Chain A
């Protein structure tokens, strides 16, 4: 419940901020009556109104009934997920530098380690096989241009492209 309240507060606050941002959109004289802010503002008002109602409902139910429940242990384990998300974004940023091949192998090794696969040899083998499969499908079969990286990594990647 507490997490849901935080989610709704963030939604409510971000919507108000974006409503303000929509007010700063450049206007174009011939369409002044229905400018670029017309549609987003309408949507944001709807989100602000509904998330506000949800927030009030959340707080009321937290006060009335849910205090005990909110103190109960969660069925979710956030730490592993947090690490996986961090690794995912590191992969997204790293691909531009290290290229598709190297970053995908490293990403899968780290991910499999985080997902409690203990045999190192198996982790390396699976990562190589998965990356090889992606390489064959996207680069060889579909001829798609995946990021080759920069510098020395680019030179190495281009040997395979």
Chain B
């Protein structure tokens, strides 16, 4: 019934248009699917409800996918969901394997997205019920689990990775305190009262900082990057079965993680990508290869973030609670069309609900087909000489940040660009900082609310079954890289002893 409805001309055109808009928004730094949803929601006013919601579903799925295109080609995460894709996607592109990286990202996005939609269709009510049982303590536990992945993200120094994560948590505290409403670290300026705007910060840390880094190099020349990219004839190369088979468990794990995180209210595709990547590192037999340009490093975050789109729709459609920023904006479309969103929505609007489910699934297929063309169009930019690219990227970053938060967003972007440049220069990875920025606003109120409810009894908060489970997992997650290092050092010493005895 849903698929039949989606193939009606009006719905199908709206779906394709939404997916194209989503890919474009996802691919442009400073925009993402939530901004595009907010901008284009007014267009749905004259649409029928089914046209409106398949249009928005297209923007959502296309937008989460689209972020990976500039992330792989230019180390510019088009959307925050693609932050982790830069870590292995860009090194692969630098090695002349941009087509392969884009192909893996495209296919994993499709598979992850379809997995998320399948879970949405099959298990929406029970999963939503389970997620609803989470209280502040459980959210705190979940954020700690996410933050514990920081140690896995520190390629060279775990201590520097943890400092970077703590800086992210600190930046997340700027603005009004969620519990008391008191201003923190605003230094009397009105601009900082709303807090650090995430998108300009991420654009600065990842995109503009990289331009600064390239410009600062002595070996930088006008055609320097062009020479490296020249061999990089970008043609989407889908991975072979033999390439995908060894990472099947990593993909499945990422799909499950992504869907699950998507279902949790407030935790969206960005967190899904970060946790999916970090868990792929943790479970890998060769964690040291992550960040150097391996297919698993693209497959894990792209499967997870697209799976999260289906997951994020579960609490929205079943309970009226947004699972992500984009689904929060979508609530506006329900009001616009006079629909009551909540537990009764699925019961009262079955045809529309099935159309949305089918629209989500079809949007994944459509971006898969469109992906070839979008990638080819963007790949053309690679043929430009670096100064033209640098000028364009910096202006794009600046204007994108200005569009997100006026001049304040732009200034913030440049401040984070300088910070990101110096951090990278002195070996502090910037990814943990992003993790801190995302999870800080969940972890802090979670802990404080849980302690308030438990009358400041810390033991009572930490021993709640689900919280305790998350915290134990966090300890394992934190200790695994340390133990692995100790084990490999010990093994090294034993080898040296054996050699010296010989």
Binding site for B on A (CB under 8 A): 3-4, 7-8, 11, 18, 21-22, 25-28, 31, 33-40, 43-44, 46-47, 50-51, 53-54, 75-78, 80-81, 84-85, 88-89, 91-93, 95-96, 100, 104, 107-108, 111-112, 115-117, 126-127, 130-131, 134, 137-138, 142-144, 146-147
Contacts and interface: CB of A to CB of B under 8 A. Distances in A.
A75 B218 contact: yes
Given A77-B218, A88-B417, A92-B410, A134 B395 contact: yes
Contact of B395 (A33, A75, A108, A144): A108
Contacts of A3: 425-426
Contacts of A18: 170, 185
A25 B182 contact: yes
Contact of B447 (A39, A43, A84, A116): A39
B395 A107 contact: yes
B288 interface: no
Contact of A4 (B221, B222, B403, B427): B427
A138 B169 contact: no
Summarize A's interface: helix, strand, loop or mixed. Answer: helix
Contacts of B170: 18, 40, 43-44, 47
Nearest to B396: A134
Contacts of A44: 170
A130 B392 contact: yes
Nearest to A134: B399
10 contacts: A25-B182, A40-B170, A43-B166, A76-B216, A77-B216, A77-B220, A93-B407, A96-B407, A126-B388, A134-B399
Contacts of A27: 182
B422 interface: yes
A142 B31 contact: yes
A77 B391 CA distance: 18
Interface string B163-186: 100110110010001011111110
Nearest to A50: B163
Nearest to A53: B159
A115 B184 contact: no
Nearest to B40: A142
A119 to B, nearest CB: 11
Nearest to A82: B216
